[in-house]
């Protein structure tokens, strides 16, 4: 949504592309990423470029679109487009985004199709001026909220829940509320997962839902006075030289202005339920959670996996990149050499050019290629972080055997994924999740591996070294911390009656 008095540039070069048109077998066999958000208040610095580099570090969280909004006084400057951060922005575009406040977003769509109109930040006009909102997460009451907004004649121009949050804030402000009061009233109307960065002409707001399902951290930039940064992960702070201060807490609102940082607890019903997928897959291994790098946690998962499901083999390797730390940990406990068995083409991003049928039949070697001289004649253990549908894993096993592996044993550093997510991860319906329809033995047969074992649910949580009740693990248990409306549940929980 581009307000009439905002300076903004967008293009629509990928507007006709819809990821739902892609054949299921060609979609990545993983839980799809969440989104990345970034916010900064730094009058002395080039906030557009700092926001760009922050988003660049968060690229792994979403590769469909990217956008930056900056505030210079009352004027908003906005640019967003489809594609990777490095494809969307260049020096010329960034020079056209002046200001002392920046809000950025990199997106993988969970609510709303892959279309430039749904790219963020969402910018809306209010009685107190424009606001720019970037959202990571997913609401579960979008139908109800949409109906409420339409009844008030709000102009919805996209299909995203993120725009609905922004419009709900605008509605409260236009009814006479001040910024804080109106924003908090709007947050109480939202159910589900939301980590938000909201920019205005006065400052930047960072907000987490009462369960803190999606991450949001605070960093500081050296100087006098100290300036503050908000980001989905600490890796976005590192890239711009900011220092990690702390997390935004569940149910907390932080307000960053010329006067510094203020904190408010907007919800009195907070209960920490950080998504466990952030811990072992989504977030970058160099990001800090629970006062340690996620690389360390993922190493422990591999160690635990080896203790739970050791098998005799010649070599161990991980599926790049997320399976590598666990593979190294597995190797140390198993006393089996760790090698690189697969080479990843790191320059293959999400492409809108579909491969030919012959290329599809050849498997997944556009992204992963086995090292034949390493694998030939060897009994191998391959470590991955998860299996969703099993399509990619099956092709991968086939390629390892073609490379000469005599035995292929697969180990997964998380439990079987049996339930879809409703809080910001784009998952298939339950009948498409292979572990919801097959036993471990049946999955092993389908993948054509010599053996298959998953990490236990208890092991995954215990290795966090945190309160095991402080994580959302609904993908493995079906225990959803935020109630999901029955209509929305039925759209994905295809097998719930059979399971019960």
Annotated binding site for Mg(2+): 322, 384-385
Count CB-CB contacts under 10 A for residue 361: 9
Q: Does the annotation mark 35 as catalytic? A: yes
Environment class of residue 159 by beta-carbon count within 10 Å: exposed (0-12), middle (13-18) or buried (19+)?
A: middle
The binding site for [4Fe-4S] cluster consists of 275, 421, 472, 475
The residue assigned the tokens 């399902």 is 213
DSSP 8-state class, residue 426: -
Q: Which of 106, 42, 92, 69 is nearest to 241 (CA)?
A: 42
CB half-sphere exposure, 309, CA atoms < 13 A: 21
Strand duo 227-231 + 217-221: pairing: antiparallel
Catalytic member of 35, 154, 190, 235 = 35
User: What does the block give as tokens for 311?
Assistant: 């098998």
Asked if 2 contacts 123 with a C-beta cutoff of 8 angstroms, the reply is yes
Residue 285 CA to residue 326 CA, distance in Å, equals: 11
Q: Which residues are annotated as a binding site?
A: 275, 322, 384-385, 421, 472, 475
Which distant-in-sequence residues (6+ apart) come within 8 Å of 232 by Cβ? Answer: 34, 35, 36, 37, 38, 58, 61, 136, 195, 214, 215, 216, 217
CA 490, 492, 498, 500 dihedral sign is: negative
Bond into 8 cis (ω within 30): no
Provide the token pair at 341. Answer: 């068995």
CB 285 within 8 A of CB 295: yes
DSSP bridge partners of 398 = none
Q: Which residues are catalytic?
A: 35
């Amino acid at each position: 949504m581009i307000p009439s008095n905002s300076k903004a540039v967008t293009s629509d070069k990928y507007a006709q592309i819809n990821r739902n048109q892609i054949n299921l077998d060609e979609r990545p066999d993983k839980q799809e990423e969440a989104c990345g958000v970034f916010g900064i208040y730094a009058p002395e610095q080039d906030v557009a470029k700092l926001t760009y580099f922050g988003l660049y570090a968060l690229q792994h969280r979403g590769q469909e679109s990217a956008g930056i909004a900056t505030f210079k006084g009352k004027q908003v400057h906005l640019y967003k487009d489809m594609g990777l951060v490095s494809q969307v922005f260049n020096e010329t575009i960034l020079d056209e985004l002046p200001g002392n406040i920046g809000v950025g977003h990199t997106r993988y769509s969970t609510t709303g199709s892959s279309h430039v109109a749904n790219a963020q930040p969402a910018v809306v006009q209010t009685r107190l001026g424009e606001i720019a909102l970037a959202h990571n997460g997913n609401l579960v009451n979008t139908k109800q909220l949409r109906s409420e907004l339409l009844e008030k004649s709000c102009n919805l121009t996209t299909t995203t829940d993120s725009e609905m949050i922004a419009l709900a804030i605008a509605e409260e402000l236009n009814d006479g509320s001040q910024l804080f009061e109106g924003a908090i009233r709007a947050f109480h109307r939202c159910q589900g997962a939301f980590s938000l960065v909201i920019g205005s002409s006065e400052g930047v707001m960072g907000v987490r839902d009462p369960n803190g399902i999606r991450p949001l951290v605070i960093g500081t930039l050296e100087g006098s006075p100290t300036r503050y940064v908000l980001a989905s992960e600490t890796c976005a702070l590192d890239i711009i030289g900011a220092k990690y201060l702390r997390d935004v807490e569940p149910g907390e609102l932080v307000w960053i202005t010329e006067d510094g940082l203020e904190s408010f607890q907007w919800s009195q019903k907070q209960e920490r339920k950080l998504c466990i997928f952030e811990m072992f897959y989504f977030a970058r291994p160099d990001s800090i959670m629970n006062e340690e790098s996620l690389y360390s946690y993922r190493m422990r998962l591999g160690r635990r996996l080896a203790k739970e499901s050791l098998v005799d083999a010649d070599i161990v390797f991980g599926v790049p990149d997320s399976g590598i730390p666990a593979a190294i940990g597995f190797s140390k406990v198993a006393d089996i050499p760790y090698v690189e068995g697969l080479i990843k083409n790191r320059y293959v991003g999400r492409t809108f050019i579909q491969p030919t049928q012959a290329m599809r039949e050849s498997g997944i070697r556009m992204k992963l290629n086995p090292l034949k001289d390493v694998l030939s004649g060897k009994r191998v253990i391959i470590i991955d972080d998860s299996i969703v549908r099993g399509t990619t894993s099956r092709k991968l096993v086939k390629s390892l055997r073609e490379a000469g592996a005599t035995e292929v044993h697969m180990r997964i550093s998380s439990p079987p994924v049996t339930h879809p997510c409703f809080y910001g991860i784009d998952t298939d319906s339950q009948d498409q999740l292979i572990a919801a329809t097959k036993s471990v033995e049946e999955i092993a047969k389908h993948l054509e591996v010599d053996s298959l074992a998953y990490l236990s649910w208890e092991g995954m949580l215990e290795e966090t070294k945190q309160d095991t009740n402080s994580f959302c693990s609904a993908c493995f248990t079906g225990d959803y911390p935020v109630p999901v409306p029955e209509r929305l549940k039925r759209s994905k929980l295809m097998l719930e009656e059979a399971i019960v």
